[in-house]
Structure 1
């Protein structure tokens, strides 16, 4: 028998007549508070006799084993099955020991039990199977042993200061540069953290160069110089004085890992530019257009130290010529983007041949190069003395990988250069041929049929261009991919050439037609084609801009065509929407096999489920709109109407269009606009009509026979017969108006 015994807590009140009350003194129950009171309530809940109904095994069904941990039977708090108020006697297990001479004896007021013992009924009779027994288990930690002192408060700690440096830098990297500079004024620690070089690996001042001071910008560049890979100083004119004092230090010690360097519009000394190029051999993109400090010496440094260069932009660097550019082409084999607008000496055959050998160039910008000739351009395209295919009469050379070609304002080029491009630039996507006044239809017809990926085409100010080129473009494979077309100031292009473009180019997003011969028919067709691109069934959904249409200074465009654009942008149509509905029908009902779907074979259900397609009426709102640029007097109204359409205020847009149309009709009919353009136009038209009447053949009248307007011409001799001075007149038949307008 185990002799270990520990003190038990104050026993709970037992049922009257319980043997345990004989050796235990009665003590008044203590009022518990807080969590002790809660735990006491949980014990009462666990002692409920309803637990017996939840599948728990009764204590009387368990077999007592002397070798196991001791147990003591619990005292029933309910009445016995015989109705007696005294519970049956219980036995104490062998582990309940009362050592002699210790508290717990009849002479002592304290009882001791094993803390791991359990009270259990040892009787195996039917009375032990009572459903109202109290299951009481004691634990090592009693309620009185729990300390009532509150838990110690957690010491204050600085969450931001305890974070690792890497996490803080990662959090600050999501802020804008302007916000990071503002945070640097919090404290010295924050200033040290905000100017950490890891935050400034990309230093792009293009968006905030006007708001940052030269001291702050130079401090960032000095602190983050070793980390900076993308340095964009576009427009930073405030660094003009800083270059003289800190330029050498920054280039020699700090910024030595640049990959992208842009100094467009930045007032920087030539020596500082050379220092940057000498200390950064990893440069990939170099952007310095319109820099008078850039010369052939700069290009020679690039050729010697920046051999991995991929992009070079020296547009409008007038101090550069073909000699420096030739050095770059020979030393930079990875060059894919060359922008050399207004560079002198491009008629050099050696430079043209080097460009031909570098067939990895994808973007070639040679705009406004007056020295570029047909001979040099042909060498760039087909090399020197290429072989010619006898069957097709084409040059047998590798096709150029050019994707974007800009030779605008190269006035020495003719149709000969465009014929060399035909069938040799299959990957071309953007082509700019504006202001080459000598170009005609002959050079463009073959080229239009050989470019299938063309998306952007600019043909501005080509005086000899006609509608035939537009018709050929509409039939070419490039019509499906064309997105931007500019034919401004092409005086010979009108509706005949533009209408096929609108019908054949579903992806057209920008169309420049100012100073051409188009009329209102083009505006009506553009509105119709954009409306066919889709509809929106949700009323509050906002549309997208589908096309940018520029049609100002077009003599044949009137306010009626502008009104068609406005009506098309806010026109709401009635349509039908298809939806699928599930229906459950009895098995005896017939099923229409055309519109219903039968359940799968083998189904034994009494009812069958069908799927029926129904159509419901709905409103169709425009999914895309047209942004129109028209006559400057109408433009404010057009812009206000466009803003209403883009914000899905269809009612307001329709009301504005109606009021503007009423005002324009009243202006045209009455001409009550003082001495403005409306009155002058009305008076001019009246004079022209009078002149046409005077020029008609005299002495005939046109009498109508009926409502159809057909009649016979009869000679009016009334004035001659009577000998009077009456002037012969001619009457006009009513034709019913123009069928189109």
Structure 2
């Protein structure tokens, strides 16, 4: 008790036991003297309270006793009217905890026996008013006391890959399938689990190194192929110069033993022994591309015929050490071969090779472009065979029709009309025929072929100078293949012009590509092509829908094509038409194009045409029409400026103004039409030529 520092002037001690109170300590309220008690008298009063038998007689139940144990201490409780948790006022007092842990202070409300009202208590024990902050604190405390925490088994575990860890392995592999090979290699370094998943065989069935081989070193590329080698089925090393070293190539070849498709085009220094090992180790090869490899010889072809019975595609184009004898061995050994590509291979003047090609009759694609040794006799043997039986009525050989669907005889300079006529009536499934740079062909050579190939979609007659307009207007335009024709090339055919092309464009409604450069066509062909695209394409009422390129035309170096025809194409591309759905509609409905023409014309105009096409494809038809109109004003003024006679100065001034306006449109007008803001003009002189 000596350790307590209590000021006797600030606090008064009272007892609730009548035995303790005497007459000297009680005075009347109005005559009570204000005297100061010393520290000693205060301590004496406390000791007398402790020794009072009334305090020992009045006790609290154990359930309401103080939870704190230890030596005696003071407890101060507020006497606020509503501070008791049980809804009853609790008087403020100083209580002393007994050494046994049970409080001997009275806990009853006023009126309980053992408590008498002490005069002056109003001045000493003042009730405290509760504020909003106190109520909010009490509410939060009560709410927190009612909160119950979740059991440990229901609490979420902390971790970055919680969902990933619970996914099945199949789903993890499916997610990783969307990554590129380079990304898989980077992800494999995250952990052992990711390393195992990233090198799963399902992810490396197709390995295309042509897209990223320049971004990784050669050693890393070799390690990837070695790690995934047993699972790789489609291998593409096109242009990968990293595998030129024989040691890296040998490692790759030893690792890959289940290949189905293999592309080694561009691996120029690949050793012959390494290539032969690759062929021996992969008996299931179906597609093999060896374009331009110097290691390929006739021995390689014989090894392919022995080791790859399931081969369907072989590409040995531009292999200098291979001739038709090696091709013959592959055809005889690979009965499933359907696609043979042997561009610029020598030795096709052999009748034995031609007879072998005739006997197989499994080829659907035959590319012999640049085979200068291919003659008319050899081509007849490939189609008719040796000494076929001739039908008396039709004068046609009685042989099974060929299964060819695509035939490329471009740059076979030895072919003439008599050799090409052999294809008539015997290639009914032909879809693509390429005869570019065959100068010996005439109309007679193509009449029978075009008339007996109803599925023809691609026809290339570039630089066939012996053709005339009759083959186009009388045969191609009326042929059974006219509704299916999609691509036509007559570039550098100087004898072909409007009389041949106009019927073709009218009847061939599905044309997607026209190459007409260096011909005699004029603006009429351009106008007819624009009208054809306009007729076949359905227009849309949605202004936000972007048009697509429906026809690509090449018309540069055509003397009779002027800017008027080019303008006709541009105006049709950006045309906005108005129509009434019914008579009751007051305002017409606007329609927009869905297909346009991509035009490649004279190089001086092509910059404007390309910019116009860009604006149309973006859907900004207003800006495209403005560009077309200003370009037409410029071209018209330019023509007037070049004319002689009176008014030459005025025409030249108009030409300069139109030139400046067109230059503004080319440099900053795109921004004005699209985004609504102009650009800064570039300084120029009057002598600047735009077009």
State TM-score, norm by structure 1. 0.65
In structure 1, C-alpha distance between the alignment counterparts of 2:308 and 2:148, rounded to whole Å:
76
Q: Which of residues 439, 445, 448 in structure 2 aligns to 1:446?
A: 448
**Residue of structure 2 in register with 1:541 after alignment:** 545
In structure 2, C-alpha distance between the alignment counterparts of 1:437 and 1:536, rounded to whole Å:
46
Q: Does 1:560 align with 2:560?
A: no
**Residue of structure 2 in register with 1:348 after alignment:** 350
Q: Which of residues 506, 509, 523 in structure 2 aligns to 1:503?
A: 506
**Residue of structure 1 in register with 2:633 after alignment:** 662
Q: Which of residues 474, 477, 492 in structure 2 aligns to 1:489?
A: 492
**Residue of structure 2 in register with 1:639 after alignment:** 610
Q: Is the 8 A contact 1:577 1:615 kept in 2?
A: no
In structure 2, C-alpha distance between the alignment counterparts of 1:30 and 1:236, rounded to whole Å:
87
Q: Which stretch shows the higher mean deviation, 158-167 or 345-354?
A: 158-167
Deviations 1:121-180 (A, max 9, x none): xxxxxxxxxxxxxxxxxxxxxxxxx99554333444652345444432222112222322
Q: Which stretch shows the higher mean deviation, 564-573 or 477-486?
A: 564-573
Cα 1:644/1:450, change in 2 over 3 Å = same
**Residue of structure 2 in register with 1:169 after alignment:** 173
In structure 2, C-alpha distance between the alignment counterparts of 1:445 and 1:493, rounded to whole Å:
16
Cα 1:165/1:620, change in 2 over 3 Å = closer
> How far does residue 386 in structure 1 lie from its aligned partner after superposition?
1.3
**Residue of structure 1 in register with 2:151 after alignment:** 151
In proportion to residue count, which structure has more helix? 2
Which residues in structure 2 correspond to 1:332-481 (within 5 Å)?
Answer: 332-471=334-473, 472-481=475-484
Deviations 1:55-86 (A, max 9, x none): xxxxxxxxxxxxxxxxxxxxxxxxxxxxxxxx
In structure 2, C-alpha distance between the alignment counterparts of 1:179 and 1:255, rounded to whole Å:
22
In structure 2, C-alpha distance between the alignment counterparts of 1:468 and 1:276, rounded to whole Å:
53
Deviations 1:504-558 (A, max 9, x none): 0010000000000001111111111111122111111111111000000001111
In structure 2, C-alpha distance between the alignment counterparts of 1:418 and 1:615, rounded to whole Å:
62
Q: Which of residues 497, 513, 517 in structure 1 aligns to 2:516?
A: 513
Cα 1:187/1:554, change in 2 over 3 Å = same
Which structure has the higher relative contact order (CA within 8 Å, separation 6+)? 1
Q: Is the 8 A contact 1:516 1:554 kept in 2?
A: yes
**Residue of structure 1 in register with 2:107 after alignment:** none
Secondary structure, aligned partner of 2:603: coil
Cα 1:670/1:154, change in 2 over 3 Å = closer
Q: Which stretch shows the higher mean deviation, 524-533 or 184-193?
A: 184-193
Q: Does 1:245 align with 2:216?
A: no
> How far does residue 29 in structure 1 lie from its aligned partner after superposition?
11
Q: Which of residues 278, 284, 303 in structure 2 aligns to 1:282?
A: 284
**Residue of structure 2 in register with 1:221 after alignment:** 225
Which of these two proteins has the greater Rg computed from alpha carbons? Answer: 2
Q: Is the 8 A contact 1:578 1:616 kept in 2?
A: no
Secondary structure, aligned partner of 1:226: helix
In structure 1, C-alpha distance between the alignment counterparts of 2:485 and 2:429, rounded to whole Å:
14
In structure 1, C-alpha distance between the alignment counterparts of 2:248 and 2:534, rounded to whole Å:
60
Q: Is the 8 A contact 1:463 1:490 kept in 2?
A: yes
Cα 1:423/1:149, change in 2 over 3 Å = closer
Q: How many residue pairs get matched?
A: 499
Deviations 1:616-666 (A, max 9, x none): 831121111000000001011000000111111110000000000000011
Secondary structure, aligned partner of 2:336: coil
Q: Does 1:652 align with 2:623?
A: yes
> How far does residue 444 in structure 1 lie from its aligned partner after superposition?
1.0
Q: Is the 8 A contact 1:197 1:223 kept in 2?
A: no
Q: Is the 8 A contact 1:531 1:623 kept in 2?
A: no
Q: Is the 8 A contact 2:337 2:362 kept in 1?
A: yes
Uncovered stretches (5+) of structure 2, i.e. residues with no partner: 1-83, 88-145, 645-650, 656-691
Deviations 1:307-364 (A, max 9, x none): 1100000111121012111111111000000001111100111110110111111000
Q: Is the 8 A contact 1:196 1:223 kept in 2?
A: no
**Residue of structure 2 in register with 1:138 after alignment:** none
In structure 2, C-alpha distance between the alignment counterparts of 1:665 and 1:658, rounded to whole Å:
11
Secondary structure, aligned partner of 2:552: strand
In structure 2, C-alpha distance between the alignment counterparts of 1:620 and 1:361, rounded to whole Å:
48
In structure 2, C-alpha distance between the alignment counterparts of 1:480 and 1:668, rounded to whole Å:
41
Q: Does 1:255 align with 2:250?
A: no
In structure 1, C-alpha distance between the alignment counterparts of 2:251 and 2:617, rounded to whole Å:
53
Q: Is the 8 A contact 2:222 2:252 kept in 1?
A: no
> How far does residue 459 in structure 1 lie from its aligned partner after superposition?
0.2
**Residue of structure 2 in register with 1:201 after alignment:** 205
Secondary structure, aligned partner of 2:229: coil
Secondary structure, aligned partner of 1:368: coil
Q: Is the 8 A contact 1:413 1:436 kept in 2?
A: yes
Cα 1:307/1:421, change in 2 over 3 Å = same
In structure 1, C-alpha distance between the alignment counterparts of 2:585 and 2:433, rounded to whole Å:
50
Deviations 1:383-442 (A, max 9, x none): 111122222222211111100000011111111122110111100000001111111111
In structure 1, C-alpha distance between the alignment counterparts of 2:149 and 2:514, rounded to whole Å:
81
Q: Is the 8 A contact 1:577 1:616 kept in 2?
A: no
Deviations 1:688-713 (A, max 9, x none): xxxxxxxxxxxxxxxxxxxxxxxxxx
> How big is the alpha-carbon RMSD for the aligned residues of Structure 1 and Structure 2?
2.4
Q: Does 1:307 align with 2:278?
A: no
Cα 1:655/1:318, change in 2 over 3 Å = same
> How far does residue 375 in structure 1 lie from its aligned partner after superposition?
0.7
> How far does residue 192 in structure 1 lie from its aligned partner after superposition?
4.3
